[in-house]
Amino acid sequence: MRAKFAEADYLSAALAIAFEHGPAAATVASISERLKAPTGSFYHRFPSRDVLLGNLWLKTILQFQQGVSEALAAGDGLAAALHTPRWCREHLNEARLLLLFNREDFVAGEWPLELRERVAAMNRRMKNDAQRRARVVFGQDGAEERRLADFVIANVPVAAVREHLKRRESPPPIVDHMIFTTYSAIVADYRARHAGSE
């Protein structure tokens, strides 16, 4: 027989509360109350609030990064940059949670070992993606290329959607145009500056 409340139900409830009031409001009591579940049912699935919120943060960031990684694997830096507003439109609650709060907002103090290991694995993948971003956009992965690629694929898109997420609104199409224009200008400038050395 299926349990009345699955782990996914608790993660969804925590996401809704955190979206509405911030991660600090997602307590064991508030999550259980939203589900109309006994507190003991929460602890049957998660050893602590920190573990639940840590899992929510990891699930969200990995879901977001998947689209960026797929675009880079296809050799399309612009698609990687445009993934941010598109993902935000499809996952407004998750986007607001991920881009308006820091990792530290989800877990008080040191993360549990299992979560630390998963975060470390994610950080290794992100480091590899940083090198891949530079190679995809500029054809090489030196310090300048990594910094510029990080700017056009990560920093610019996040900055472009942030104010909309604060207002709980989906990023409008002009955001994509801003990202496209910035990306194109920086790539063109880089190529012009390095044309003689190629």
Domain co-membership, 101 together with 158: yes
The token pair at 105 is 């907002």
Domain co-membership, 130 together with 34: no
Expressed as residue numbers, the domain containing 41 is: 1-46
- Chain-centroid distance of CA 124 in Å reads 15
Q: Is residue 74, in this structure, part of any structural domain at all?
A: yes
Domain co-membership, 114 together with 18: no
Whether 46 and 53 have beta carbons less than 8 Å apart is answered as no
Domain co-membership, 21 together with 115: no
Domain co-membership, 130 together with 101: yes
pTM beyond 0.75: yes
Domain co-membership, 95 together with 4: no
Domain co-membership, 99 together with 188: yes
Q: Is residue 53, in this structure, part of any structural domain at all?
A: no
Q: Is residue 165, in this structure, part of any structural domain at all?
A: yes
Domain co-membership, 67 together with 25: no
Report DSSP state, residue 22. Answer: -
Domain co-membership, 116 together with 27: no
Contacts of residue 146, Cβ cutoff 8 Å, sequence gap at least 6: 130, 131, 133, 134
As a whole number of Å, the CA-based R_g of the chain is: 19
The pLDDT-based confidence of 1 (bands split at 50, 70, 90) is: very low
For CA atoms 184, 186, 188, 191, the dihedral sign is negative
Domain co-membership, 6 together with 71: no
For residue 134, which of 125, 122, 142, 126 has the smallest C-alpha distance? 142
Q: What percent of the chain has pLDDT over 70?
A: 96
Domain co-membership, 9 together with 81: no
What is the predicted pLDDT for the residue at 115? Answer: 82
3-state secondary structure of 75: coil
Report DSSP state, residue 26. Answer: -
- Tens digit of each residue's pLDDT (9 = 90 or more) over 91-137: 999 998 888 888 777 776 777 788 888 888 888 888 778 889 999 99
Based on the structure, what is the number of domains in the chain? 2
Residue entry with tokens 């296809």? 74
Q: Is residue 102, in this structure, part of any structural domain at all?
A: yes
What is the predicted pLDDT for the residue at 196? Answer: 67
Over range 176-180, report the average pLDDT.
Answer: 98
The token pair at 94 is 């998750």
- Tens digit of each residue's pLDDT (9 = 90 or more) over 18-68: 888 888 899 999 999 999 999 888 998 888 888 888 888 888 988 999 999
